[in-house]
Structure 1
Amino acid sequence: MLRRCPLGPPGPQPLRRALPPAAAAVRRRLREVSARRGLRGGARGPAAGAAVRVCRPRRQAGGAAGGREGSRLCLQCAARIPEAGAVLDLLEQCPEHQRKGSFPVVVLEGLDATGKTTVTQSVKDTLNGILLRSPPACISQWRTIFDDEPAPIKRAFYAAGNYILASEIAKASTQAPVIVDRYWHSTAAYAVATEVDGKVQDLPPAHDEVYQWPEDLLKPDLVLLLTVDPEERVQRLQRRGLEKTKEEAELEANTLFRQRYTFLWNKRMEAVLAPVGSVANVPLTLPGQGIPKSKLLGWVVFGKD
């Protein structure tokens, strides 16, 4: 990804390679994992003699998905995209330290066609709550634009969307229970799956720092991960007859990517979604007859800040 990033005094600037901080963090961890295992062919660095400018935040707070500062710097390096400036403007309007209100925040995660739409609506109706989605409505119209960009820019868009969404969650949770359709976990799973070249065994181990929740991102009270049988999920997608998302097209075309991505959801997210014994007094109505039964793999109740 080549960009002209302003560096030094005004005047003509050399063409430089901008490495977004989220990508750098993941690649560093992957090199460490490869070194421990004695593997070859780790993440490639820039070509010899290439001028490199690393856009680096003051602290790495976002794990694989990138924190607020990392997203901001990456989008600044994507100034050729007019919508990147609009996303930055919205991000700058959000307070840096979000605190949720007194009402619970429930996040539902999972791949497409796992029943999220049905379950989120059910939980919303049961709790008489407010439904929010990721990416938030204020930037969702630009999703297709960023989906066609290189992975670091695409990741920065979704990571920035998480912080913009957090601002909406903070405000809404002062009025009613909040139900969120996708949040940080989706961004993190996709980030790790795209940064790794190889098989499932090459993924960072469980409890690696790339899976850590960002320190500067508002935490929900409850996260539910929904899954269905893979064959059933494909059949549901086919019955919908809708245009495939970029994510789904990649899952279908790239076998290794599909294996990494589904493994991350089914195994590595357990490091974040620690199973507990109950859903802590949250009444949940699962899909009824005629709807694939989504399986609740795990959930975690975060302590209040």
Structure 2
Amino acid sequence: MSDSPQIARRRARLERGPNASRDPEARFYVLEGLSAVGKSTVAPILADTLRATLIPTLIPAFEKTRVSLDKKRLVMPRLHFWMMTNYSASEKVRDALNAGQDVVVESYFYRTLATHAALGVTQPPAVDWAHALVPHMTILLTVDEAVRQKRLTQREQEQGLSYWSRLEESNVEITRQTYESFGLTPFNTNGLDAVEVATEIARFLKQTETARG
């Protein structure tokens, strides 16, 4: 008796391994960094520069749940919600890679764990990398703290800062230290606009891929 199509697809996926893609040339890149370093501005520009697909960490269908959880101000449910959204985003990334498309994601498991450490989580869950896709490269955007604070002030004046943003900023050194513990690739954005940042990152990624052969 032959397998059903669903079982056949699952069997093929297991044989390929959780982090395999049909197109070995397709790449998965992540941008990380503290609030106001420019992640959300640079990410779509970088995706355009690389001719890659930009995949959001927060799937639109989960937005109402996010709003509801944020209102309750409960840290642990919020942490596990964001862990779930990362796993869900990982599956969308997998589909894109399987179709031969490069992918850019702004904020992945690293930001979820770093920010929630600052929010008071002392025993964060481990990422199950047997199921979540490992990025080919994760870039940690940095900028001088004075510049970042100026941007935060402008953001607060224009749209306000959420309860969670204020709480994280009160312990932002923990976010910074947690990011550093992941060993991500830093990129200093000082003196560069968003287009220049994206251009330089794209150049760096190309050089890195060339060096790897």
TM-score by length of 1: 0.50
Say whether residues 1:145 and 2:68 are aligned partners. Answer: yes
Q: 1:228, 1:292 within 8 Å by CA — same for their partners in 2? A: no
- The one-letter code of the counterpart of 1:138 is A
Residue in structure 2 matched with residue 195 of structure 1 by the alignment: 121
* Alignment equivalent of 1:233, drawn from 139, 148, 163: 148
- 1:28-50 deviations in Å (ceiling 9; x for gaps): xxxxxxxxxxxxxxxxxxxxxxx
Q: 1:289 to 1:131 in 2, by over 3 A?
A: closer
Q: Which residue of 2 aligns with 1:86?
A: none
2:156 maps to 1:156: no
User: 1:61 matched to which residue of 2?
Assistant: none
Amino acid at match of 1:185: Y
Give 2:164's match in structure 1, choosing from 239, 247, 255.
Answer: 247
> In the TM superposition, what whole-angstrom CA distance separates every residue of 1:256-292 from its partner, at most 9, and x where no partner exists?
x233222222x3232xx2x59xx9xxxxx99854889
Q: 1:165 to 1:100 in 2, by over 3 A?
A: farther
Gaps of 5+ in 2: 1-12
Task: Report the Cα distance in structure 2 between the residues aligned to 1:190 and 1:290, rounded to whole angstroms.
Answer: 23
Report the AA paired with residue 140 of structure 1.
E
Larger Rg: 1
**Post-superposition offset of 1:155:** 0.8
Matching residue within 149, 155, 178 for 1:264:
178
SS at match of 1:134: coil
Q: Which amino acid aligns with 1:195?
A: V
What pairs up with 1:35-46 in 2 under 5 angstroms? none
Deviation at 1:211, TM superposition (A): 8.8
- Which amino acid letter does the alignment assign opposite residue 144 of structure 2? D
Structure scoring higher RCO (CA < 8 A, sep ≥ 6) equals: 2
For structure 1, list consecutive stretches of 5 or more residues without a partner in the other structure.
1-94, 197-203, 205-209, 280-284
- Cα distance in 1 for residues equivalent to 2:63 and 2:35: 16
How far does the alpha carbon of each residue in 1:107-161 deviate from its partner, in whole angstroms, 9 at most, with x for none? 1111221111232122211111110122222213432222234211111100111
- Closer/same/farther in 2, CA of residues 244 and 98 from structure 1, 3 Å limit: farther
**RMSD, aligned CA:** 3.7
Alignment of 1:1-305 (within 5 A): 98-99=18-19, 101=21, 102=23, 103-149=26-72, 150-175=74-99, 176-193=101-118, 194-196=120-122, 213-215=127-129, 216-240=131-155, 241-252=158-169, 254=170, 257-265=171-179, 267-270=180-183, 273=184, 275=185, 288-289=192-193
Which one has a larger percent helix, Structure 1 or Structure 2?
2
- Distance in 1 separating the partners of 2:175 and 2:112: 11
Q: CA separation in 1, counterparts of 2:114 and 2:90?
A: 19
CA contact (8 A) 1:110 1:227 kept: yes
TM-score (norm 2): 0.69
Q: Quick check: 2:33–2:111 contact (8 Å CA) kept in 1? A: yes
